[in-house]
Structures are given as structure tokens and as C-alpha cells.
Chain A
Amino acid sequence: MPINYKNGIINEHLRVRNQAGIFDVSHMGQILIPLTQDNIKSLEKFIPLNINNISSNKCHYSFILNSNGGILDDIMLSKITYIKNEYIYIVYNSSRKSVLEEIFKKTVRNYEIIENRCLIAIQGPESFASLKEILNLSQNMNFLNISVIQYNVSDVIISRSGYTGEDGFELSIINKHAEEFLTKLLQKNIILCGLGCRDSLRVEAGLSLYGNEINENISPIQAGLSWAIDKTRLIDNSLNCSSILTEQLNSPKSIKKIGLIPVNKTMLRANMPLCNEAKKEIGYITSGCYSPILKCSIGIGYINKISDMSEVIFVKVRDKFEELKIEKIPFIKKNYKKGDVND
């Protein structure tokens, strides 16, 4: 996947926000694990979900955790029926393939790492209208629903999800059908988009990126993602880090995730130090980019919770200190298609 195609990052970004764009995210990991009680028991040692209780045909944002509660990866997990069998389908980061696949090898049985399918994301307000001309899509499919549908006599795993804050879909499609499918989509005034706008779109939407906001030394609770943990799993010793996470949940937070916008023109980039008025370091920027919607730079960062939130925050850009405003995350209103509010 290139940084951008010929239209450039800003144009691609705006197309996704206003119409629709395509991301070829086939580099991501996909795995099918038979839905057996043994496999569930193994996965629940490091995934903070109650897999028996989650609804089928629904995607769940979750994590693979180490024994300290650190995040080995963030994942999308769902229970699907595929060729008449029930599976746990997990999509994971390509940069974490070797770590995760080693874990799967040691813990679950009869799984299949999917190598013969592309993963294509169609994102933007016009994605449903464009896709329904090609695929038999249900009007009732809402944000985070997932199902298996037919295309060219083969199964497509399709979810209404994405990584941009827009309405959209992710399709897992057999390699040999992917090119024809993409060619049809590209005739519908949708453009291919690259990694550059994938990053600026997810930062505007306040979504975490592995290696930036989250890593092996940060737990979901520290990263402000405790909403994605099934709290019943914290009183359950079968989760390898339940006591550590419980303690973190009940203690004052050590770090806080904040959204940032510079007062004057400058560009925020990952790893720039955040400082207080006395220019003492109190945190760092995890992600920074130019927001084509807000027409300025935006950033996400962590600050030590002990620092006084009322004080002025500065970022050190090369040899200068630039003043920042704290902003709510997400920076833009998310545009998901929700049906039932309890979904």
C-alpha cells in the first residue's frame, strides 16, 4: 500500500470524508479459529471478551494482552458462520503478525491463517450506495455488523466497519475475485487511497494506532480504551492480567490521553515532547498530522495525570516551544450508520 496515489493525501482524505475511497488493506492479518469451547478458553486467557456471550455477526474491538496487561495488538473479533461452520474471525495488524501467529500456534487448534483473501476497505458516506450496485447488501446492516454474503459464487466476509470515522465496509474477498471487484468499484467514481490519508483520517477520528497510542507497555485502561474491556472478565482469574487491570481501573490514572491543536501554525508529529509552562516535560505526542477538515495540525498525546490540566501546555518543535490547546477527541463527528442505540 503506497503513502498516496496520484491525487495526493489531502484529496484522498477529502474524498473519503465527502464521497468514498478504497483502501487495499490486504497486508493485515486474518485468521479463522473454529468456535470450540477449548479454543474459546484458550483465547480468553489473553482477550478481555466473554466470547460465549458476545452476539454473533457483530464485530468487537478488543486486544491481545500480555500478562502485565500490555497490549500485544488491537484486533477486531467476531463470530461468523462460514461454509456451514462456526468460527472466530480475527483481523489483526500486519506489523504484529509474527508475534500473534506465534501465540495462536501455541494456544488454539485447527485454525486457518487466511492467505487467499484480500481485505478491501470502502470508506465514506457514499460507500453503501456504491457497494449495493455490486453486492447484495442488506439495508439493515448497521455499524459493526458482519456477515458472509455471496459474490461470484464465492463467500465474502463483509463488515460495516473501518478506521476512518466514516460509514464504510471491510470486505474479505478471495484473491482471484479481488481485481474484478475493485475494477467495478473504481468505475463508480471511487478512488484508491493510501496509507497517508488512512493515518490522517484515523487521527481526526481519534482512533488508536498500534506502535503510536498503544504498545506492549500500555494497557487498554491506560490508553483510555477501558470501554472495550468486558468488565466481568476482570473478576475472572482465567484472564492472564485480570488483577493488574482491576488495580489500574480502581486507581487514579497515571497517564491521560488528550487531543491537541496548536495555537499558532506549526506541525505536530509523533514523539515530540509535551511540556508545562516551566518547560518541564510532562508527556509526549503519540500521533500528529495535518487535518484537511480543520485545516490545521492536530495531535493525540499522553500527559502525566499528575500535571495540572489547567496549566498551559507546550510542544517542543525542534528548538521552539509552541503553545497548544487541549481539544476533545475525536476531532470530527463520527459518521457511523447506527440502528439500535444499544448496538
Chain B
Amino acid sequence: MIEKKYTEDHEWVQMDGDMATVGITNHAQESLGDIVFIDLPTVGKVVKAKDELCVIESVKAASDIYSPIDGEVSEVNEKLSDEAALVNQDAENEGWIFKIKVSNTDQFQDLMSLEQYLAFLEN
């Protein structure tokens, strides 16, 4: 079953088995403005939840992207190397940033549902 959840750092995490696909939310891309460069993570890197994993550079500022979950980076969206603006155009689908082979799937359940994330944005 594929399930999608959200973090307080404005990332979305879509879980399929033990594979998590991660990107930034539409709200995040709107506040960042034009995204011009993404310093993608290295495949094979082992990470803990909340570790800084990559950096998104928009015309306004640099923003750190954190790993939402423990695991190992298994794939990055190479399309973003030449077309970072894809994150502005389609943040929650084509603009995914990296995939993580999750070592602790329980952590996923601690993330926010869409309703919780929307309520979080309201506050």
C-alpha cells in the first residue's frame, strides 16, 4: 500500500513497502520562490531522521533538506540536476528529490497526515 505523509520541515514522504520517496511540499516551493539549483545527496549515504541531506537553492535563499527517516539513499532525481525548476512546477510528483530505503518503518507513522499538515500550516 502506498501512503503519503508530511513533516514539519515541509517535506512529503511517500512510502511504498520499505521505500520512501521524498520531496518538498507545494507550500514549500511557493514560499521558496524560483528554485535554481539543488545539491542532490549521494546515493548510498546512510542517514538518520533529521540529518541534513541536501540543499535547495532558490533565488531568495538556500534551504536545508533533512532526511525524514532513518535509512540509506537509494536513488536521486537526476532530472533535477538540469531542471531544478521542476520542483516549482510539480513539487509533489515529478519534482521528487530522493528515495530512501527505510531501516525503521515505524518512524513513518510518527509523521503528519495531510489533514494534520494542513492544520500545521494554518498555525
User: A5-16 interface mask toward B, CB cutoff 8 Å, 1 = contact, 0 = none?
Assistant: 000111000000
**B81 interfacial by beta-carbon distance below 8 Å:** yes
The stretch from A103-111, A114-122, A222-230, A261-269 touching chain B is A261-269
A200: chain B residues within 8 A (beta carbon): 59
User: B76-88 interface mask toward A, CB cutoff 8 Å, 1 = contact, 0 = none?
Assistant: 0000010000000
A4: chain B residues within 8 A (beta carbon): 33
**A89 interfacial by beta-carbon distance below 8 Å:** no
* Contact assessment for B55 and A318 in the assembled complex, using a CB-CB cutoff below 8 Å: yes
Least CB distance, B62 to chain A, in whole angstroms: 6
CA–CA, A3 and B59, complex, Å = 10
* Contact assessment for B37 and A196 in the assembled complex, using a CB-CB cutoff below 8 Å: no
B62: chain A residues within 8 A (beta carbon): 267, 269
**B45 interfacial by beta-carbon distance below 8 Å:** no
**B60 interfacial by beta-carbon distance below 8 Å:** yes
* Contact assessment for B37 and A297 in the assembled complex, using a CB-CB cutoff below 8 Å: yes
Query: How many chain A residues touch B (Cβ–Cβ < 8 Å)?
Result: 15
Within 8 A of A (CB), among B41-88: 55, 57, 59-60, 62, 81
* Contact assessment for B39 and A289 in the assembled complex, using a CB-CB cutoff below 8 Å: no
Q: In the complex where A8-B34, A9-B33 touch, is A3 in contact with B60 (Cβ < 8 A)?
A: yes
Least CB distance, A94 to chain B, in whole angstroms: 20
* Contact assessment for A266 and B37 in the assembled complex, using a CB-CB cutoff below 8 Å: yes
* Contact assessment for B59 and A290 in the assembled complex, using a CB-CB cutoff below 8 Å: yes
Q: In the complex where A9-B33, A266-B37, A267-B36 touch, is A289 in contact with B81 (Cβ < 8 A)?
A: no
A289: chain B residues within 8 A (beta carbon): 59
* Contact assessment for A10 and B34 in the assembled complex, using a CB-CB cutoff below 8 Å: yes
CA–CA, A290 and B55, complex, Å = 15
> Can you list 15 contacts pairing A with B, beta carbon distance less than 8 Å?
A4-B33, A8-B33, A8-B59, A9-B33, A9-B34, A10-B59, A196-B33, A196-B59, A265-B37, A266-B37, A266-B39, A267-B57, A289-B59, A290-B59, A318-B55
